[in-house]
A and B are shown apart, each in its own frame.
Chain A
């Protein structure tokens, strides 16, 4: 059955014209990708648009798809590029902060937090609907430096390895590892009473 197929096999089947394979693939990755986008851009409406754009890019790029990497790596790389385009359009000054030098210290990004939009707080309907814990987790994520948050979301939502995150973000493996460690430490500190 197709449900047992790997992501890469499903994508190859879709490239060959099997629309059902794409449906299965989409349902596997729709929620993680969407959460990654929502947490990164901070707006559900923008996340909807970005989510649709990313999947349309996947559809249009199916002819060039080769299973050289895991499908989530390919998918989240597309999503990240789309996010960068989004930043360029809506927050040009943020672009420089999102693409610092590979060896930059993650702690230097602390000041960027103040410039970033607070994702959840700006959406009252989200605040009302979410559980208190969820709100606190979102707040904790929003308070993370963008690069640390990105690494955390790629690891958590995309289930990417350090190497895959490093390849997707264009950073070294150790830098990625350092960012992830910082992110986990800050989150643990913010959500300590919930753990």
Chain B
């Protein structure tokens, strides 16, 4: 209680009489209602705070989860294209017309004896390994041409180990050659070492991939071989090509030489042929 000032016009007698006889009070029900409201008012913020925690952190947690998922998917996606391309190519090699004319094949790239099948990437990897390039970068170089083909193991095993310089495949010229009709089937068999991409390191192919390619029909294998061999001409200079034809003529393989010459003319129609090749 505050101290009453001296000039306060109080009347102690009257005040005592008033306090003695006037004792009105609120009912107990009202007291209970008011006290319950007071308790509820101070207990409500606790519940709100519990809800508020989740509401405060909900956005942060959602962002963190989204970021984690995005990062995980991005890391997975970095590896995914190579694997998916491999599977797609093993399952369905690019169709090539039967009996397609195949260009010369480098002989210096030895076809492995042991492996049965190589996939496009495995071939590319092998070629890259021979050239001192990582298989993945090699595969990426080849990817735009869409020329990766599974190589039958038996065929590659019969290729001679000696041959020409390795070549890279996937050029437009080789693509044109894929569609050309076969003029000399023997050419396919003779001197057809695997192209640079298809020559080496089939061990990189997984057993599943090998099994998938082994299961292909012979026609498909033939097509795949033709496409792979067609890459052999890619990147080869016209002089090298003509030198090959000269070598074939010297060896007496005139049919094959004629076929190679025809292929050469298709690939280099404007190249001035030396006198010896003019008929």
B1-44: CB near A (< 8 Å → 1, else 0) gives 11011011111011101110111111100110111011101110
Question: Chain A: which residue is nearest B3 at the CB level?
Answer: A161
Residues of chain B lying within 8 A (CB to CB) of residue A159: 1-2
Would you call A52 and B34 a contact (CB within 8 A)?
yes
Contacts of B11 in A (CB 8 A): 184, 187-188
| Cα(A128)–Cα(B30), bound, Å | 23
A127 at the interface (CB under 8 A from B): no
Q: For chain A, which range describes its interface: under 10, 10 to 19, 20 to 34, or 35 or more residues?
A: 35 or more
- Closest residue of chain B to A178 (Cβ to Cβ) is B9
Residues from 45 to 89 in A contacting B, C-beta threshold 8 Å: 47-48, 51-52, 55-56, 59-60, 62, 70
Q: Contact partner of A56 among B19, B23, B37, B39, CB < 8 A?
A: B37
CA–CA, A29 and B58, complex, Å: 45
Q: A133-B21, A187-B14 are in contact. Are A59 and B43 (CB under 8 A)?
A: no
Given A14-B42, A30-B26, A52-B33, do A195 and B2 touch, yes or no (CB 8 Å)? no
* B52 in the interface (beta carbon within 8 A): no
The smallest C-beta distance from B16 to any residue of chain A, in angstroms, reads 9
Write the A14-40 contact mask toward B (1 if CB under 8 angstroms, else 0).
Answer: 100111001100100011001100100
Q: Please tell me if B45 contacts chain A, counting CB pairs below 8 Å.
A: yes
Query: A188–B12 Cα gap in the complex (Å)?
Result: 11
B101 to chain A, nearest CB (A): 92
Assess the A48–B27 pair: CB atoms within 8 A.
Answer: yes
* A194: interface (CB < 8 Å): yes
Q: Given A17-B45, A184-B14, A195-B13, are A138 and B22 also a contact pair (CB < 8 Å)?
A: yes
Partner of A26, one of B9, B31, B42, B45: B31
With a CB–CB cut-off of 8 A, which chain B residues contact A31?
Answer: 23-26
Task: A52 to B38: give the CA distance in the assembly, Å.
Answer: 11
Docked Cα-Cα span, A134 to B19, in Å, equals: 10
Contact A19 B17 (CB under 8 A): no
Q: Point out residues on A near B: beta carbons under 8 Å.
A: 14, 17-19, 22-23, 26, 30-31, 34-35, 38, 44, 47-48, 51-52, 55-56, 59-60, 62, 70, 131, 133-134, 137-138, 155-156, 159-162, 164, 177, 180-181, 184, 187-188, 191, 194-195
Residues of B within 8 A of A (CB): 1-2, 4-5, 7-11, 13-15, 17-19, 21-27, 30-31, 33-35, 37-39, 41-43, 45
Cβ-closest 9 pairs across A and B: A134-B21, A181-B9, A22-B38, A55-B34, A19-B39, A34-B26, A17-B42, A133-B21, A31-B25
